[in-house]
Amino acid sequence: MRAHGPAARLLSGGTDLLVRMRKGHDFPPAVIDLKRVAELREDVTECDEGLRIGARAVMTDVINNTSLREHFPALIEAAMVVGSIQIRNRATLAGNLCNASPAADTAPALLAYGAALNLVSERGRRHLRLDDFFTGPGRAAIAPAEIVESIDVPLPAGRTGGSFQRITRRHGVDLAIVSVCCVTRESGDARFAFGAVGPRPFAVTVRQDAPIEDALTHASPISDLRGSDEYRAAMLAVLARRALNTAVERMRMARRA
């Protein structure tokens, strides 16, 4: 990375990078393959805050992990709709975040669960909240010489309910027109996170009994090939209510269990 400078590209799953290269949208002077870097793990382990997902973990690893399925069901729902089965077998969770697409499927779920990134460089390591990671379309707060080492997702203190919802033009092979994740807690808080309705994925916390519009105030949908701004705004409210209702019901079921 030092030798080739900031224009070099890191390769892990390659499901975004190779597509851009083949279409002529990206001409890096060097592609640095991370798949055999032993220090970048592909498993899910326990850490002080909760669970730590290695940077080389692919979507299928996330979906099949028992601990993630138990504590973070909305993340599983988001990972299950990333591309096709073949893509999920190659695409890494870390890469989905580093691509910094406003429509990244796993970003809302990880934001809603309060995830953070562990970054490493020659200067050392730093811990960065995912809320502070996305800075704009395709832009993230990661230095050219930094690599995502792992993703930490804190275990909830009490019972929670979670739900991920999205709308696409075609199931499984298209970017989201709108995506919403909601995580409810016994304290009465509901944390919403949104994708494809602004220049970056973002999250906001409101009370579960607050008007749904309170959670939508930071959305700024645009019109593009996938949908108009009016359609996005209308569907955002629908999906937010649906996600909240599902999350609350799942929390109630967890309480009974």
SS (H, E, C) 150-199: EEEEECCCCCEEEEEEEECCCCCCCCCCEEEEEEEECCCEEEEEEECCCC
Class of domain 9-18+39-154: alpha beta
pLDDT band at 198 (very low <50, low <70, confident <90, very high): very high
Diameter over CA atoms, the chain: 57
> Cα–Cα distance between 102 and 95 in angstroms, integer?
14
| Alpha-carbon distance values, 140 to 2, 6, 21, 96, 114 (Å) | 19, 13, 20, 12, 17
Three-state DSSP state, 62: helix
**Nearest CA-CA partner of 62 in 22, 26, 105:** 105
Average pLDDT of every residue of the chain: 93
Per-residue model confidence as pLDDT tens digits over 82-135 = 988 999 999 999 999 999 999 999 999 999 999 999 999 999 999 999 999 999
Name the percent of the chain lying above pLDDT 70.
98
Dihedral Cα 58, 110, 138, 80, nearest 10 deg: 40
Mean pLDDT in residue range 204-226: 93
Please say if the pLDDT value at position 242 is more than 60. Answer: yes
Q: What pLDDT does 200 receive?
A: 96
Instruction: Read off the pTM.
Output: 0.94
- The confidence score (pLDDT) of residue 79 equals 97
**Per-domain residue ranges of the chain:** 9-18+39-154, 160-256
Stretch among 15-24, 108-117, 202-211 having the lowest mean pLDDT: 15-24
171 pLDDT above the threshold of 80:
no
Identify the CATH number of the domain defined by range 160-256.
3.30.390.50
Nearest to 97 by CA among 51, 139, 153, 34: 139
Q: Is there a contact between 47 and 152 (Cβ–Cβ < 8 Å)? A: yes
Write down the pLDDT at residue 226: 87
Q: How confident is the model at residue 173 (pLDDT cuts 50, 70, 90)?
A: low
- The stretch 203-215 carries a mean pLDDT of 94
Residue 186: the pLDDT is 93
Helix (H, G, I), strand (E, B) or coil at 128: strand
- What confidence score (pLDDT) does residue 24 get? 87
pLDDT score at 176:
92
**pLDDT number for residue 257:** 65
Q: Are 66 and 51 a contacting pair, CB within 8 Å?
A: no
- Residue range 134-162, pLDDT digits in tens: 999 999 999 888 999 999 999 988 899 99
DSSP state of 82: S
pLDDT for 6: 84
pLDDT bracket for residue 2 (50, 70, 90):
confident
Q: What amino acid occupies position 213?
A: E
Spatial contact of 183 and 113, defined as CB atoms under 8 Å apart: yes
Give the total residue count for the chain. 257
d(CA 2, CA 222): 38
The residues, ordered by sequence, that sit 6+ positions from 72 with a Cβ below 8 Å of its Cβ are: 51, 109, 113, 153, 162
